[in-house]
Amino acid sequence: MFGKDSKFYSIFKHKCPRCHEGDFFVSHPYDLKNAGNIHEHCSVCHLKYSKEPGFYYGAMYVSYALGVALFVTLWVSFNLFFPSVSIAFQITSIIVATVLLTPYLYALSKIIWANLFIKYDKTIKREGANH
């Protein structure tokens, strides 16, 4: 499921969606100076990561869905496992978790968006990195 030929590999390792070899991001998500910056091309298969201007605007929808999933997961977890915890503590915890995870969720939304539109090609490396 998380093998090199799966979308999950590309998403969670932040690798090129086409060859699963080259790095997708310039730096890690918590390097706030370069947060979310992607390479122009893959260093291995030379895929151009931005298909068109504004391509990654759609990642905002993915980011929103990830934020809602985080909120729901934390809210349900608090109410199932810690029912005596106050609402104020729950809200504070959710806000803190959201703020701390924002750079990661932002990067995750971009790589998920790219993987929705760029297919893995296991032959790309053997063929000599077609453009």
pLDDT at 45 over 50: yes
pLDDT at 128: 47
User: With bands split at pLDDT 50, 70 and 90, how would you rate the model's confidence at 129?
Assistant: very low
**C-alpha torsion sign, points 20, 63, 48, 24:** negative
Mean pLDDT of the chain: 90
Report if residue 22 sits inside a domain. yes
Structure tokens at 46: 């030379």
Separation of alpha carbons 68 and 63, rounded Å: 9
How do residues 48-82 score in pLDDT, each as one tens digit? 998 888 999 999 999 999 999 999 999 999 999 99
Tell me, yes or no, whether 70 lies in a domain.
yes
Q: In which domain, by residue range, is 50 found?
A: 7-117
In a domain? residue 124: no
pLDDT at 127 over 70: no
Residues 6+ apart with CB under 8 A from 37: 25, 26, 27
Count of domains forming the chain: 1
* pLDDT > 90 in the chain, percent: 79
Question: How remote is the C-alpha of 16 from its chain's centroid?
Answer: 12
Is residue 130 domain-resident?
A: no
